[in-house]
Amino acid sequence: MKLRVGFLINFNYLKWLGGTYVIKHLIYCINTFSKNEIEPVLIVKKKLSKEEIKEFKEFKLIKTNLFHNQSLIKKIYNKLLVLFFGKSGTYESFFIKNKINVLSHINVFSNNIILGK
């Protein structure tokens, strides 16, 4: 069985190129050395800019606004669920639906635990 690993890009990749490059290099290594046992997937916002499309063109993408356009109340609610219970039903449903087995390098809490910026 192939292990599907999700990498969440919930930041402006132009403002944090280092994080983008780390994830891209990890995916290159996985694709090169995993003997096809691991399937990396980028989780990105639905509407990508031309630069983002160019940057991520060679990767398998799942496009969703679940992690990008949440209201402040929903962000806080989901973060509290993750903090206190270890998971959020909303996030869990998304990962099950998209057959994501493992998440790597996610930035759920971002720089600011309350606002998520």
Domain of residue 97, CATH code: 3.40.50
The reply to whether 77 falls in a domain is: no
Residues 6-35 have pLDDT tens digits of 998 877 766 666 778 888 889 999 999 988
CA 95 from chain centre, in angstroms, equals 10
User: Residue 86: what pLDDT?
Assistant: 86
Q: How many helices (H) and strands (E) does the chain have?
A: 4, 4
The reply to whether 25 falls in a domain is: yes
**What stretches in the chain show pLDDT beneath 50?**
111-117
Name the 3-class secondary structure at 7.
Answer: strand
User: Residue 13: what pLDDT?
Assistant: 67
Please tell me the total count of domains within the chain.
1
Which residue range(s) make up the domain with 30? 3-68+91-104
CB 79 within 8 A of CB 109: yes
Cβ neighbors of 17 (< 8 A, separation 6 or more) are none
- DSSP output for 39-78: EEEEEE-SS--HHHHHHHTTS-EEE-STTTS--HHHHHHH
The reply to whether 86 falls in a domain is: no
**Model pTM score:** 0.79
